[in-house]
């Protein structure tokens, strides 16, 4: 290692760590770690390889530092983020824009030099009194065309531990990268801690993405979505890499759906956070590959996908034995799990919607909590936060697909797009073709906001491919990349739109939580040409008889014609209203592919013709 780096590092780390770093023989990595040390000034540095000892060390440190506390069940711990640090901070997340580079007005950005100066000033000495952990991970399976090497420096053992559960080891992988291989870098500090061990300087929370250097800075925050570099921070860098190289980096689950015989058909699905992504991927009897981020590439004329991650950072609210039996079972057994921002009482975790009585007092993200306690604005503090989560490796789940680490990925036959839509779209429909699906289903996702990001919940917002929070290229280019994908494969996957959140006139949900299993099986049959559909103005709809048979087979339930008509009637007026909103939304964007306007205009003509002929609400039987 060059003396410029050893001089900085020798005082901070033992021989083993120094040797571990040196053995990588990558000057870029040495320079990154030395810069992080010089800037953040930790008391000591631990460089971790992929070894079981180093992983155990990080796990132990998370407890020693008080970032995690053991719970009653062996392997379970709890971590709390600060009261105002419970979700992704969109406002403080910015791209650092080099001179002459434009990403479009939609993206939150700041001038690069000024941004670097600001975030580096917040990181200056931020690790004083703390240890820095250097970790190596691989996004996607190792040694595959999908793999991306990553280096994380953090002063949070919780972040480093979470990454062990969520990502594949990458130390050995990085050794094979070569001097020109691309890798991502993440530097995080929780910053100054308060007496509760949570980030004190929340007003100085920053997540700055340096697209020139493939690097993300994160400071004065602990919440996973802001700090776990390999998750949403890496997704932003990956979207840019995918754009350069002609593939797609998506906010998508990936799962195998069982069909007749021994058939397994792979689907990806993009829903905004808290809209049912994990619970779909986790449906009992099916195979989960991933629940959050997928890379999609054209390989030998086929769309193939991998899970970028190897674990789940999932929402715990409403996980109970009835609705989510697979994950509920996992969360109540021994095994390595980090619970975050739940309620702890008697060393046991409790959360809203768990299907058991929640104690009236305990410890939660607000400190000592009891029923009825309010925040400074007079709002009741819930026992667990709505965005409380669990972190677990996929291998701990009984339904994990054995192809999780297949370096060639799995072939994708269907894509689902959906959002929280209480009054417009039917529960499931199929696009007429690829472009119709990309534009009217993916790019047009509109969803009511949730607790997964800071800010008010329940507001209707567009969220393109559910990836909009993470887009790092102009929106028009992103849509064009999707449209172009069809030309790279022999048969593009079928595209579907799902809506689990439709309500009736009385304001009640029209579907049970498990109904999505039926929609999934219908889509699987459609992919194989085994069921007919009804042509509607916004897509192809299931027939009553087919759903009735599937409800019986999958859920053992009678599905009434009345329910079908209520759920699958076309709300023509509402669909036209959405097209109006879309016109405003897209109208504000530069450089949209012309096909967007053409496709939406055709959809409008079909809806208007139907309205003229049959009115504002049209039964699927009248189409």
> Are the beta carbons of 496 and 523 closer than 8 angstroms?
yes
Q: How far is the CB of 426 from ligand SPV (least distance, A)?
A: 25
Which of ligand SPV, Mn ion, none is residue 276 near (CB under 5 to 8 Å by kind)?
A: none
Measure the CA–CA gap between 391 and 604, rounded to whole angstroms. 44
Calculate the dihedral angle through the C-alpha atoms of 572, 577, 579, 581, rounding to the nearest 10 degrees. -160
Segment (H or E) for 207: strand 206-210
Measure the CA–CA gap between 372 and 379, rounded to whole angstroms. 9
Backbone angles phi, psi at 480, to 5 degrees: -60, -40
Nearer to Mn ion, 159 or 426 (CB): 159
Which of ligand SPV, Mn ion, none is residue 208 near (CB under 5 to 8 Å by kind)?
A: none
Cross-strand partners of 389? 315, 340
Binder to ligand SPV among 170, 224, 269, 427 (CB under 6 A)? 224
Nearer to Mn ion, 225 or 427 (CB): 225
Q: Does 469 bind Mn ion (CB under 5 A)?
A: no
Which of 277, 379, 390, 393 minimizes the C-alpha distance to 342? Answer: 390
Q: How far is the CB of 234 from ligand SPV (least distance, A)?
A: 11
Confirm whether 138 is a catalytic residue.
no
Nearer to Mn ion, 228 or 441 (CB): 228
Token pair 């839509």 is found at 421
> Are the beta carbons of 46 and 17 closer than 8 angstroms?
yes
Applying CB under 6 A, which part among 225-233, 242-250, 504-512, 583-591 lies near ligand SPV? Answer: 225-233
Nearer to ligand SPV, 225 or 311 (CB): 225
What is the footprint of ligand SPV within residues 289-318 (CB under 6 A)?
A: 292, 313
Token pair 């941004």 is found at 115
Which of Mn ion, ligand SPV, none is residue 61 near (CB under 5 to 8 Å by kind)?
A: none
Nearer to Mn ion, 17 or 498 (CB): 498
Which of 509, 541, 265 minimizes the C-alpha distance to 403? Answer: 265
> Are the beta carbons of 561 and 544 closer than 8 angstroms?
yes
Set 138, 153, 275, 330: catalytic member = 275
Q: How far is the CB of 158 from ligand SPV (least distance, A)?
A: 13
What is the footprint of ligand SPV within residues 56-95 (CB under 6 A)?
A: 88
> Are the beta carbons of 286 and 399 closer than 8 angstroms?
yes
Q: How far is the CB of 454 from ligand SPV (least distance, A)?
A: 11
Return all residues near 107 (Cβ < 8 A) that are at least 6 apart: 95, 471, 472, 474
Which of ligand SPV, Mn ion, none is residue 476 near (CB under 5 to 8 Å by kind)?
A: none
- Concatenate the DSSP letters of all residues of 228-292 into one string: -IIIIIHHHHHHHHHHHHT-EEES-EEEEEE-STT-EEEEEEE--TTSSHHHHHT-TTSEEEESS
What is the footprint of ligand SPV within residues 442-501 (CB under 6 A)?
A: 452
Which of Mn ion, ligand SPV, none is residue 82 near (CB under 5 to 8 Å by kind)?
A: none
Q: How far is the CB of 326 from Mn ion (least distance, A)?
A: 19
Segment (H or E) for 69: strand 69-70
Which of 349, 338, 344, 390 minimizes the C-alpha distance to 366? Answer: 344
What is the footprint of ligand SPV within residues 260-279 (CB under 6 A)?
A: 273
Nearer to ligand SPV, 88 or 204 (CB): 88
Nearer to ligand SPV, 450 or 575 (CB): 450
What is the footprint of Mn ion within residues 252-291 (CB under 5 A)?
A: 273
Q: How far is the CB of 225 from ligand SPV (least distance, A)?
A: 2
Q: Does 225 bind ligand SPV (CB under 6 A)?
A: yes
Backbone angles phi, psi at 535, to 5 degrees: -85, 115
Q: How far is the CB of 289 from Mn ion (least distance, A)?
A: 15
Which of ligand SPV, Mn ion, none is residue 225 near (CB under 5 to 8 Å by kind)?
A: ligand SPV
- Exposure string of 374-408, with b = 16+ CB inside 10 Å and e = fewer, is eeeeeeebbbbbbbbbbbbbbebbebbbebbbeeb
Applying CB under 6 A, which part among 191-199, 223-231, 299-307, 471-479 lies near ligand SPV? Answer: 223-231
Cross-strand partners of 198? none
Nearer to ligand SPV, 467 or 480 (CB): 467
Residue nearest to ligand SPV (CB): 225
Which of ligand SPV, Mn ion, none is residue 313 near (CB under 5 to 8 Å by kind)?
A: ligand SPV
Residue nearest to Mn ion (CB): 292
Which of 414, 409, 416 minimizes the C-alpha distance to 270? Answer: 416
Farthest CA pair distance, the chain:
80
Nearer to Mn ion, 292 or 446 (CB): 292
Burial of 56 (0-12, 13-18, 19+ CB in 10 A): exposed
Chain length of the chain: 623
Applying CB under 6 A, which part among 224-232, 513-521, 547-555, 591-599 lies near ligand SPV? Answer: 224-232
Q: How far is the CB of 273 from Mn ion (least distance, A)?
A: 5
**What does the angle CA 454 – CA 457 – CA 461 come to, to the nearest 5 degrees?**
95
Please count the residues of this chain forming the interface with ligand SPV, following the rule CB under 6 A: 9
Q: How far is the CB of 167 from ligand SPV (least distance, A)?
A: 13
> Are the beta carbons of 170 and 150 closer than 8 angstroms?
yes
Which of Mn ion, ligand SPV, none is residue 369 near (CB under 5 to 8 Å by kind)?
A: none
Q: Does 292 bind Mn ion (CB under 5 A)?
A: yes
Binding residues for ligand SPV (CB under 6 A): 88, 224-225, 231-232, 273, 292, 313, 452
Footprint of Mn ion on this chain (CB under 5 A)? 273, 292
Residues marked as catalytic: 275
């Amino acid at each position: 290692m060059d003396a410029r780096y050893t001089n900085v590092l020798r005082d901070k780390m033992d021989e083993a760590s120094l040797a571990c770093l040196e053995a990588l023989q990558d000057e870029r990595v040495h320079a990154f770690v030395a810069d992080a040390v010089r800037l953040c000034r930790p008391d000591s540095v631990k460089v971790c390889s992929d070894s079981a000892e180093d992983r155990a060390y990080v796990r132990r440190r998370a407890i020693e530092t008080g970032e995690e506390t053991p719970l009653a069940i062996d392997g379970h711990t709890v971590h709390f983020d600060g009261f105002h640090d419970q979700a992704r901070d969109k406002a403080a997340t910015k791209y650092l824009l080099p001179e002459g580079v434009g990403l479009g007005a939609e993206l939150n950005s700041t001038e690069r030099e000024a941004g670097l100066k600001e975030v580096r000033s917040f990181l200056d000495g931020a690790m004083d009194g703390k240890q820095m952990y250097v970790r190596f991970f691989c996004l996607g399976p190792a040694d595959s065309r999908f793999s991306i090497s990553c280096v994380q420096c953090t002063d949070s053992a919780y972040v480093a531990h979470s990454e062990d559960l969520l990502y594949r080891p990458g130390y050995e992988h990085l050794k094979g990268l070569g001097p020109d291989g691309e890798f991502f870098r993440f530097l995080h500090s929780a910053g100054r801690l308060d007496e509760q061990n949570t980030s004190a300087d929340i007003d100085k929370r920053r997540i700055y993405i340096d697209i020139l250097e493939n690097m993300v800075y994160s400071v004065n925050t602990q919440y996973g979505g802001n700090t776990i570099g390999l998750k949403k921070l890496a997704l932003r860098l990956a979207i840019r890499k995918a754009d350069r190289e002609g593939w797609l980096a998506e906010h998508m689950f990936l799962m195998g759906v069982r069909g007749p015989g021994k058939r397994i058909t792979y689907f990806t699905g993009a829903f905004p956070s808290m809209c049912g992504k994990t619970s779909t991927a986790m449906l009992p009897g099916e195979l989960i590959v991933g629940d959050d981020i997928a890379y999609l590439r054209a390989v030998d004329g086929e769309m193939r996908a991998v899970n970028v991650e190897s674990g789940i950072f999932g929402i715990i609210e409403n996980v109970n034995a009835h609705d989510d039996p697979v994950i509920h079972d996992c969360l109540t057994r021994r095994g390595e799990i980090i619970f975050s921002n739940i309620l702890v009482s008697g060393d046991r975790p409790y959360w809203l919607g768990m299907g058991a009585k929640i104690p009236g007092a305990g410890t939660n993200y607000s400190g000592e909590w009891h029923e009825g306690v309010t925040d400074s604005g007079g709002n009741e503090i819930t026992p667990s936060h709505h965005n409380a989560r669990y972190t677990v490796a996929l291998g701990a789940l009984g339904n994990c697909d054995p192809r999780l680490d297949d370096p060639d990925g799995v072939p994708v036959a269907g894509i689902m797009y959906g959002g929280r839509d209480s009054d417009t779209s039917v529960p499931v429909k199929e696009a007429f073709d690829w472009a119709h699906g990309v534009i009217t289903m993916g790019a047009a996702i509109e969803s009511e906001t949730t607790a997964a990001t800071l800010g008010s919940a329940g507001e209707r917002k567009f969220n393109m491919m559910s990836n909009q929070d993470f887009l790092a290229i102009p929106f028009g280019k992103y849509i064009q990349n999707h449209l172009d994908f069809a030309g790279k494969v022999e048969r593009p996957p079928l595209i579907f739109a799902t809506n689990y959140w439709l309500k009736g006139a009385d304001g009640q949900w029209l579907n049970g939580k498990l109904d999505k299993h039926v929609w999934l099986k219908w889509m699987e049959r459609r992919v194989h040409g085994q069921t007919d559909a009804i042509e509607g103005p916004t897509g192809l709809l299931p027939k009553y008889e087919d759903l009735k048979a599937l409800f019986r087979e999958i859920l053992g339930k009678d599905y009434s014609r009345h329910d079908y008509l209520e759920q699958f009637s076309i709300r023509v007026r509402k669909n036209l209203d959405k097209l109006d909103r879309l016109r405003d939304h897209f109208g504000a964007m530069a450089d949209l592919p012309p096909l967007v306007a053409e496709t939406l205009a055709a959809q409008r003509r079909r809806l208007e013709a139907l309205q003229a002929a049959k009115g504002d609400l049209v039964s699927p039987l009248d189409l």
